Amino acid sequence: MASAQEIQPDPRARRGRFLARQVVFLIFVTAVLINPAPARASNFGSICDASGCVSVANNVQHAVRESGLLLNDIPGLRAAVTDRVRTVYDPLDLVAYVTTTDPLPDVWAHDDNYGPSANDVVAWVDCDGTNTGTGGTHPNRWCRGQIMRFNSYYYHFSSRVYDDDAQRQNVACHELGHTVGLRHHETVPAVGSCMYRIVGVNQTTILNPHDRAHINAYYN
Ligand SMILES: [Zn+2]
């Protein structure tokens, strides 16, 4: 702030204030650049690792096929997948639906006894050599013909994963999330999302507002 006597400030003082203003401006710009939009912040984007793949979808039409590669080993799982497609995903900015005939679906649903997994991976998503199209670049790499694999070993020889509707809906919600680009929440179950990395008993069957914002921001 200028003092009362400073009617004509000398050039050096003016230059000092100008530099100070530039510093403030640079700090402001930097702050904007290092704060990404909240919807892109944490758990969205393609990735493949030892426990499967996360890919985005190539468009807003998301067809989930429940026959061909069959969902017939874990009782109630097909109903749970259908229910989550219609209840959780279709209401978003996606047109998500189940099909028994589409020869080129976005996602196949499949259950099989893959045996025990070292890390108890009870279900995962593949974009393997059977895919019917891939494209885009990370983190927006898309895959058509992804396969959701539900390991029925954990139905037959374990428990707390596929035992009741809530558990099956939780796992279905989780794997479907991977097929549209959602990654895990690593934090406590209090995130209120089926994308918490632990699935099964006592886990929620829905996405949280953060997940929904990611999907609605990407598919529109
Ligand atoms: Zn997962």
Structure-block tokens of residue 167: 């558990």
Say how many Å lie between the CA of residue 8 and the centre of ligand 1: 67
Say how many Å lie between the CA of residue 35 and the centre of ligand 1: 27
Mean pLDDT across the chain: 83
Say how many Å lie between the CA of residue 196 and the centre of ligand 1: 8
pTM of this structure: 0.80
What pLDDT, on the 0 to 100 scale, is given for residue 190?
59
pLDDT in tens, 37-49: 343 347 999 998 8
Q: Is pLDDT larger for residue 186 or for residue 46?
A: 46
Say how many Å lie between the CA of residue 20 and the centre of ligand 1: 49
Q: Give the pLDDT band of residue 187 (cuts 50, 70, 90).
A: confident
Say how many Å lie between the CA of residue 99 and the centre of ligand 1: 23
Say how many Å lie between the CA of residue 110 and the centre of ligand 1: 16
Average the pLDDT over 192-197 and give the result.
Answer: 94
Say how many Å lie between the CA of residue 125 and the centre of ligand 1: 8
SS (H, E, C) 62-96: EEEECCCCCCCCCCCHHHHHHHHHHHHHCCCCCEE
| pLDDT at residue 1 greater than cutoff 70 | no
| pLDDT at residue 162 greater than cutoff 70 | yes
Say how many Å lie between the CA of residue 198 and the centre of ligand 1: 8
Structure-block tokens of residue 152: 């029925």
201: DSSP letter: T
Q: Confirm if 200 and 122 have CB atoms less than 8 A apart.
A: yes
Average the pLDDT over 162-182 and give the result.
Answer: 97
Average the pLDDT over 58-84 and give the result.
Answer: 92
Q: Give the pLDDT band of residue 192 (cuts 50, 70, 90).
A: very high
Say how many Å lie between the CA of residue 182 and the centre of ligand 1: 9
Average the pLDDT over 5-33 and give the result.
Answer: 40
Say how many Å lie between the CA of residue 123 and the centre of ligand 1: 7
Instruction: List Cβ neighbours of 184 (8 Å cut-off, separation of 6 or more).
Output: 43, 195, 196, 197
Instruction: In whole angstroms, give the CA distance from residue 214 to residue 196.
Output: 15
- Compute CA distances 20 → 1, 5, 29, 86, whole Å: 12, 21, 15, 57
Closest CA to 84 of 66, 68, 100: 66
Instruction: List Cβ neighbours of 46 (8 Å cut-off, separation of 6 or more).
Output: 53, 54, 55, 56, 136, 138, 139, 140, 141, 142, 181
Say how many Å lie between the CA of residue 171 and the centre of ligand 1: 9
Average the pLDDT over 23-28 and give the result.
Answer: 40
Structure-block tokens of residue 53: 């793949």
